[in-house]
Amino acid sequence: MNRKYKAVLFGNGTMGERHRRFFEYSGVQFLKIFDLEDLDDAGNLKTSLVDEFVSNEKIDFAVIASPATTHYQYAKLCLERGISVFVEKPLATLGEQAQELVDLANRNNVILFVAQSECFNSVFLNFRKHFMNEIGTAGSAACIFRDATHVGIAANSSFRLEFRREHKYSARCRDVNVALDLLVHDLSLCLSMFRYEDLKVEKFTVSKNEDRAKMQINVAKGAHAGAEFDFIVDRNSDIDVRTISVEFVNDDGSSSCDYSVSLAPHNENGEVVHISDSLENEHKFFLKLMAGACSEWGRRAAQCAANAVKLATITTASS
């Protein structure tokens, strides 16, 4: 990276510190870190203090890793002043706010990047490449074969995906429910493969303690109409799971092929081990965007993150 960027950080907790370390390693200078000592009596960053600083300093981008309920406020403040934003998920806690931020970034010609690292997970990227090739080949009235098993996927097959994300209790991210905490990850993975406009939410329930949620989405139109997606998330589980399962279904209802992919390895205790290149990849892509590359991709990614919030905040039922 040739240019030395100047940045400001909102929130120096677990994720804020990780982001700061990487960007500093890449030569970014943080002019100010807003953290606990800058909070008012209500636990919010002092708006006047933030406003004065970002209005008077030459800042290239802001890193927002504060509590999720503050993302919209700080992202809007920076985008309005022509400052690009790298913000932790979720982009906002309301769908209309998320869309407002995307529109504001486009209008002011600045970057809005949502740090949903799972979208940069090398395991998922490899899965997406092969799966989209599978359904693309099936859709063209052909038949493909997978690995040494030679299992054919017929042209008249539909398919079902199950996204499952569970982990044990953590005190982090408790200011939002599990849909905005975990479900947005898998919704974003889904939206990187299928058009938001083609999808219809059939069922969505969130537990009364807001730690578990289930969603069922159907593809209502387009080339893959009839496909079904199930999402299961739990942040107070006995196990650690992060998988995508695939099932191809023939017209007669029989299963023609099924398999499952784990998006992360497990340690000897059965706990998910984060894939380090996911975070590294997202930081590298953001710096590419800052350098002027992949701008159209960046706008699509931001819209995808906003659409994930829209889906995660539709009217819910308790279970």
Q: Could you tell me the CATH number of the domain that includes residue 38?
A: 3.40.50.720
% residues pLDDT > 70 (the chain): 83
Same domain assignment for residues 45 and 177: no
CA distance 256 to 247: 8
All residues at 6 or more sequence positions from 43 whose CB lies less than 8 Å from its CB, including other chains: none
Read off the DSSP letter of residue 291.
Answer: T
- C-alpha triplet 286, 29, 89: angle, nearest 5°: 40
Question: Are the beta carbons of 79 and 97 closer than 8 angstroms?
Answer: no
Q: Is 52 inside any structural domain?
A: yes
Q: What is the pLDDT of residues 259-280, one digit of tens each?
A: 999 998 767 666 666 666 788 8
CA distance 313 to 319: 16
Residue ranges for the chain with pLDDT beneath 50: 138-156, 317-318
Q: Is 289 inside any structural domain?
A: no
Starting at the edge strand that comes first in sequence, how are the strands of the sheet with 158-166 ordered?
Answer: 255-262, 241-249, 158-166, 228-234, 212-219, 199-206, 317-318
Res 253: pLDDT: 65
CA distance 172 to 129: 32
Q: Could you tell me the CATH number of the domain that includes residue 216?
A: 3.30.360
Q: Is 290 inside any structural domain?
A: no
Which is it for the CA torsion 5, 10, 15, 21, positive or negative? positive
Same domain assignment for residues 191 and 260: yes
Q: What is the pTM of this model?
A: 0.88
Structural domain span for residue 216: 121-280+309-318
Same domain assignment for residues 101 and 170: no
Q: What is the pLDDT of residues 194-211, one digit of tens each?
A: 999 999 999 999 999 999
Same domain assignment for residues 251 and 160: yes
Q: In total, how many domains does the chain have? A: 2
Burial of 268 from C-beta contacts in 10 A (0-12 / 13-18 / 19+)? exposed
Q: Is 175 inside any structural domain?
A: yes
